[in-house]
Chain A
Amino acid sequence: MLLRHTTAKEIDRHALTINPAKICQPIGAMYAALGLHGCLPHSHGSQGCCSYHRSTLTRHFKEPVLASTSSFSEGSSVFGGSANLLSAIETIFTVYNPDVIAVHTTCLSETIGDDLHEIVEKAKEEGKVPEGKEVIYCNTPSYKGTHITGYSNQTAAFVKFFSQTTGKKDNTINLVAGWMEPSDINEIKRIAKVMNIKTIVFPDLTNVLDTPLTGTFNMFPKGGTTIPEMKATGDSKCSLGIGPYSTLDACTKLKEKCGVDFETVEIPIGLKATDRFLMTLSKLAGVSIPDSLTEERGRLVDFIADNAKYFWGKRVALFGDPDILIPTVEFLLTLDMKPVYLVTGTPGKHFDEKMVELLKDKVPEAKFKSGEQADMFQLHQWIKQKPVDLLMGNTYGKYIARDENVPFVRLGFPIVDRAGHNFFPKTGYIGSENLAINILRELLDFQDRTCREEKMEFQM
């Protein structure tokens, strides 16, 4: 057994986290910063963090992930990292020449209390920031929240540093993208285009973490929200935050700074979340939903109706990030599946409330947990107590899936043991269909592998 020490018997844990369902803030900030065109993320801490974040993102995307670090030594940890960041800024602009450096912090620089504002101002005074270049920053203490918090902080920093009002409103809708795959953002952009809505998407990871192989290496790929676009967000008609955990802060900041009203919706995974997303967009933009999208919806409904019996009543365990889990759980309920066990390491009441709302009637036996000790060890213990028919989550789930012999659908971050997963969206009706197809395939592959020989089905 891969996880041979996991037993069904639970103890009251208050201090030990085992097999976490979360990561720390700076990796989220690094990811979001890559969604700004011409931006080099910079990790203000000791260099181990930066290497780890880059490696994790690279393993997931199979793409270059560039970022620099202040490379703290013991001396800077005691006397402050100001000199390190000043020298880093000079070296970065001289050697790599990004348009923007987006600085985030780690538990090290946060614990010692480095003042980023002061350091960056000093860099400007000393002429280390060339004309037309920007250094932005956000605080991302690893001991608060999770990678989702870091993503949210970085996205809010884009607003803080760039969004402006000219006083002249533009008929544009800001789509504030929560933590999704580039393919998911791409699908959302496609839907907006089909609906003929003018949008600014930020952070925009498309054409950044899915670049072609051309024989040249572009440190700064063509994708990403541009600075002029980011500035213009202050003049937009309104903002739509896609995934409240990762976008609420940015939306709120934009409202405070530039008076841009906002709404938030769940990431459009599944039939109902996509319905709401389209209706909200349609309402905000004052446009009707075109037939082509209604047809896409119909195709998804058709697929589910055709295969309803395979989904019916299947018990599912899920772990991951709240903005992904909430709509996914809702979608599983649409499929008449039973999401019975759910954990997210990301703390927050919204998740707990949504789970109660979604599950209390349909799956009253469901167990869920968020925050500290809401980890995969807990999830596995629940599975040991009463098994499930399907497990969904990031790559770390495969150890449980193998031990417990359950089908496994990879979903979330990071997925490091398969390639190409990031080409297929799971947002919108088409993405939801991808997800449902994936679930069905895993269930049927499992049946084919494990059923008695005489029960092998040639057709479905």
Chain B
Amino acid sequence: MIEPSLALYGEAYDRVDQHIQELLDVTGVRYGLLVDRKGFVLSHKEALWAPRPPALDSVATLVASNAAATAALANMLGETTFSEQIHQGENGTLYVESVGSEALLTLIFDASVPLGKVKVYAKKTVAQVASILDELKDLPPVNLGDDFSQGATSLLDDLLG
């Protein structure tokens, strides 16, 4: 029951990974993440030359919360959402763009990378990734079954005593 859709999902996410990698290669961005609106990392790529990234779970959570807060702000101002956020610091930039209604493309790069270039290429990647996420919507939900629950419960016992 699980197996066929697994392969399909895996293949789709491989394509997402590939698009993000291409974006990194062409623009010189350090880290590229696809984060869902709830703050979970769906996919991430880092440039080979880049130093070890900060805690990605924390980055994803803060990016998603920030997007949620600015979306609420957008609603107050009569917009449906602000699709793009740019935070520029002295040494680097955080660039976040909506991918459909479910995900956020997050790019982190340093001051040597021109923002305009990143924007141009990011738009292309966003369109590609959005169409992959759209395909995934039509897939049937996965049934994890009872033994998943049992296995998870015993791990819970180990972790929490």
Physical interaction between A and B = no
